[in-house]
Amino acid sequence: MTTEATLIDGRAIAEQIHAETVQRIAALKARGVNPGLAFVRVGEDPASKVYVGMKEKVSARLGLHSLTRVLPEQTSQADLLKLIEELNRDPLIHGILVQSPVPSHIDSTAVYSAVLPGKDVDGFHPVNVGKLMLGDRSGFVPCTPAGVHELLIRSQVKIEGAEVVVLGRGNIVGKPMAALLVQKARHADATVTVCHSRSAHINEHCQRADILIAAMGVAEFVRADMVKPGATVIDVGVNRLSDPSAKGGSKLVGDVDFANVRRVAGKITPNPGGVGPMTIAMLMANTVRATELAVGGRR
């Protein structure tokens, strides 16, 4: 008899983190401090509009002060950097998120570098990236890797000594995810392999993994025959596939063939409902931590 994997409920775990965040917000408000988060969006990319809208709703629900600045697609890099500098100087704003992607004529590295490291709640500033690589947790960790880490910890998945395979080497998920899990630290100390589009023998690497994290951006790339029986599978990918039977003629799927992989894995995240809610939860937690650091009271 085939048993199905235990679902790792990202929505439920995100709500646990939100509850903790609300308590921290209340403590700050009792001191007369209201955490502030600024969203900056350039252009009218449909996905970006949806993502910012979701973050705005969660901010409001938790009691964070938030504001959104939307700039036209043709905005110059200089004008975007000017806005970021204004937000850097604003004492009521403790976290700044520039929604990616930015238009191709704008250098995203310059944009992320312009945000003060102490307000960089996305964790993309070179200072925060460097701190992560050095094992210095005083900086901010990018929200999706941080969310995956919390999913593993709160689902009692053993990380120490585990064979971990990260599929994808991007700066937003793959690289920081590997850096986080390989640290000499509690809830880390894993043996991490990063695979990408040029990797040879990907199947064999995946089959050795106790924890498999898929962040390649390739629809349903991970098949059941690539997964070690009993492994934990985390699906970070978001891909749109044509489906005439679906509303709007398309559907969203992850990087994992969920229906078949769940018959092999021990634990697995659904998609949606897995990593996505955790990314937002960690953004809110980072913003509150940035506020605490700014006013004193947390390290």
The residues annotated with a catalytic role in the active site are: 55, 99, 122
Which SS3 state, helix, strand or coil, does residue 76 take?
Answer: coil
For 299, which DSSP code?
Answer: -
CA dihedral 146, 149, 153, 156 (to 10 degrees): 150
Q: How many helices (H) and strands (E) does the chain have?
A: 10, 11
Closest of 244, 245, 241, 243 to residue 254, by C-alpha: 241
Which SS3 state, helix, strand or coil, does residue 292 take?
Answer: helix
* The amino acid at 53: G
- For residue 72, is the peptide bond before it cis, meaning its omega torsion is within 30 degrees of 0? no
Q: Tell me the HSE value of 39 on the side-chain side, using a 13 A CA sphere.
A: 26
**Who contacts 138 (Cβ-Cβ below 8 Å, separation ≥6)?**
131, 299
45: left (phi over 0), alpha (psi -120 to 50) or beta: beta
Q: How many of the other CB atoms lie within 10 Å of CB of 255?
A: 25
Q: Report the Cα 265 to chain-centroid distance in Å.
A: 22
What is the C-alpha R_g of the chain?
19
Q: Which tokens go with 60?
A: 């409001």
Sheet holding 211-214, edge to edge: 6-7, 267-268, 232-235, 211-214, 163-167, 191-195
